[in-house]
Amino acid sequence: MHPDWIYLDHNATTPPATEAVDAMLQALRENWANASSNHDAGQDAKQMLGQARVKVARFLGCKPAEVVFTSGATEANHIALRGAVGFNGRSGLVLSAAEHAGVQKLARQLAQQPGGDVAFIGLLSDGTLDMAQARSLITDRVALVSVMAANNETGVLMPIGEIARLAHAQGAMLHVDATQLVGKLPFDFGKSGADLVSVSAHKFHGPKGVGALLVRQGLNWPVLFPGSQERGRRGGTENLPGIAGFAAAAERLTLSPDDWLTHSARMATLRDRLEQGLQRALPGTEVYGQLSPRLPNTSFLRFGLLHADLVLNKLGRLGVQASSGSACSAGGNEPSTVLTGMGVPRNEALCAVRLSLSADTTEAQIDHVLAHLPREIGGLMAESTAPLPHPHPDSVTSPGVFA
Ligand code: PMP
């Protein structure tokens, strides 16, 4: 990573914290034994694993025995959703239309299986959940409701407590993909109302390839990877360096509520300064979900009808690393399904760019964007929103979208 680059893609991944790197190196160098071995070296590794579990549990407000380490949130989501099929004699799966692309693909696959019964709760134009639809879809035939805590593209927060009440009233379980919320806002598994929660270390300055599924104590959720590790819930030799880095990143953020407020408020102030500055300098800039409760670090916006690729190219010239949305669906020619789900027309959705900050983002970095981006795209933006001369060849193939 070039030191001068301005990294504004923290929802894709975050730089590992020094504490996480140090803990990983120590585990690699000194604690490389297999935690399932009975000799002293193995028992040392097992002890380290136990300490890491305690740190992660303290950070997430759960009991150590509720933590099942996985290779990340994708795996945790798979264990949660695949386990739902046939659970308690029910087969229904209800998801929000905001779920991560990987979750939506998995749900569509599950819907093809015999007895597969999958329904999606739609979104309103402000990015929030259609709660009237949630109430009608969550019935006593549903095994699992899966709603993310915060959307990875818009940052809009979902009403987890209310969804938990609806699910439990019908005897259904609730899975929450908390990947994007954890590390940006406080999260407490015990108070969340969720039965299963997915998290990923690399979204809060831990390493990639490690995460956890939290499973409420007493819930006998089906096992996807049988084996002896993780109390029989997830076989496979534990990724000790990854888990050590995860625990160190979690411990670093196990702050008092006051610190959390400062941490989140600072990010929100910088994000708002960025959005408001851009909206002032570039009329026609629209921020999706701007008035909804959102993560403090996320801005999903479009500059008139300038195609996202063009804006990202200009940002790249300013050294700004950003993306057109979820890293898992970016790079294609398809618009964000979250935006189309909110009713945003396709040609507008193709213009959306996501800027996501971290607690390390500086005022100087935001001011650099504010000082230079308007000059780079202001003229193009005015052209893109002006009525097209008639006839215009572009208007036939890509109405209103300038690439
Ligand atoms: N869920 C959400 C909401 C995400 O943003 C991501 C990461 N893009 C994932 C799941 C997948 O996480 P991981 O990279 O740990 O598999």
Question: Look-up: residue for tokens 């189309």?
Answer: 340
How far away, in angstroms, is 156 Cα from ligand 1 center? 16
User: Tens digits of per-residue pLDDT, 36-46?
Assistant: 999 999 999 99
Longest dimension (CA), the chain: 80
Asked whether residue 236 falls in the same domain as residue 345, the answer is no
Residue 66, ligand 1, Cβ within 6 A: no
CB 154 within 8 A of CB 126: no
- Which of 96, 175, 179, 185 has most ligand 1 atoms within 8 Å of its beta carbon, as the pocket-test mutant? 179
329-370 pLDDT, tens digit per residue, is 444 578 999 999 999 999 999 999 999 999 999 999 999 999
pLDDT in the model for residue 258? 79
- Judge if 182 and 90 occupy the same domain: yes
For tokens 């209103």, what's the residue?
Answer: 400
**Helix, strand, coil share of the chain (percent; to 5):** 45, 15, 40
Atom of ligand 1 nearest to the CA of 74: 16
Query: Would 401 be classed as within a structural domain?
Result: no
- Indicate whether 235 and 295 sit together in one domain: no
Domain boundary among 229, 252, 275: 252
Give nearest CA residue, ligand 1 atom 7.
Answer: 12
| Annotated catalytic residue 328 | yes
**Is 379 in the same domain as 346?**
yes
Asked if pLDDT for residue 62 goes beyond 70, the answer is yes
Domains in the chain, number: 2
- 356 has which bridge partners? 9, 298
Pull the structure tokens for residue 129.
């959940």
Q: How far is the CA of 220 from the centre of ligand 1 (A)?
A: 24
Span 134-158, mean pLDDT?
A: 98
Q: Is the CB of 148 under 6 A from ligand 1?
A: yes
214 with 271, same domain?
no
Residue 403 domain flag = no
Distance CA 202, CA 327 (A): 13
Q: What's the rounded mean pLDDT across residues 201-223?
A: 97
Which member of 111, 328, 382, 403 is catalytic?
328
Determine whether the shortest distance from the Cβ of 179 to ligand 1 is under 6 A. Answer: yes
The three-state secondary structure class of 53 is helix
> How many angstroms does the Cα of residue 157 sit away from the middle of ligand 1?
16
Question: Which domain-ending residue is among 224, 252, 280?
Answer: 252
pLDDT of residue 382: 84
Q: For residues 308 and 240, state if they share a domain.
A: no
Q: Is 283 exposed, middle or buried (0-12, 13-18, 19+ CB in 10 A)?
A: exposed
Shared domain check, 379 and 247: no
> Is the same domain home to 248 and 318?
no
In a domain, residue 270? The reply is: yes
In this structure, the residue with its CA closest to atom 10 of ligand 1 is 73
**What mean pLDDT is predicted for residues 129-157?**
98
Residue 1 falls inside a structural domain = no
Question: Three-state DSSP class for 157?
Answer: strand
CATH number of residue 326's parent domain: 3.90.1150.10
Mean pLDDT across 214-228: 96
| 152 C-beta closer than 6 A to ligand 1 | yes
With a 6 A CB cut-off, is 74 part of the ligand 1 pocket? Answer: yes
Sign of the C-alpha dihedral, residues 316, 319, 320, 322?
A: positive
Q: Is the pLDDT of residue 67 over 80?
A: yes
- Asked whether the beta carbons of 56 and 70 are under 8 A apart, the reply is no
Question: Ligand 1, closest atom to CA 150?
Answer: 3
If one residue of 153, 180, 295 were mutated to test the ligand 1 pocket, choosing by the most ligand atoms within 8 A of its CB, it would be 180
Q: Is 176 found in the same domain as 188?
A: yes
User: Is 228 inside any structural domain?
Assistant: yes
Q: Is 211 in the pocket of ligand 1 (CB under 6 A)?
A: yes
| Residue 69 resides in a domain | yes
Report which ligand 1 atom has the smallest distance to the Cα of 152.
Answer: 5
The pLDDT value given to residue 332? 55
Q: Do residues 48 and 152 both lie within one domain? A: yes
* The predicted structure's pLDDT at residue 111: 93
177 lines ligand 1 (CB under 6 A): yes
Alpha carbon distance 109, 100 (integer Å): 14
Confirm whether 307 is domain-assigned: yes
| End position of a domain, from candidates 252, 267, 283 | 252
Q: How far is the CA of 277 from the centre of ligand 1 (A)?
A: 30
In terms of domains, do 110 and 244 share one?
yes
pLDDT attached to residue 366: 98
Domain containing residue 347: 6-14+256-395
Going by alpha carbons, the residue nearest to atom 12 of ligand 1 is: 73
Q: Is the CB of 180 under 6 A from ligand 1?
A: yes
CATH number of the domain that residue 35 is part of: 3.40.640.10
Each residue's pLDDT tens digit, 288-327: 999 999 999 999 999 999 999 999 999 999 999 999 975 5
What secondary structure letter does DSSP report for 191? H
Residues 199 and 265 in one domain: no
How far does residue 162's CA lie from ligand 1's centre (Å)? 23
Q: Is residue 39 part of a domain?
A: yes
Which is nearest to 234 in space by CA: 49, 68, 84, 34?
68
Burial group, residue 203, by CB count within 10 angstroms (0-12, 13-18, 19+): buried
Portion of the chain with pLDDT greater than 70, in percent = 94
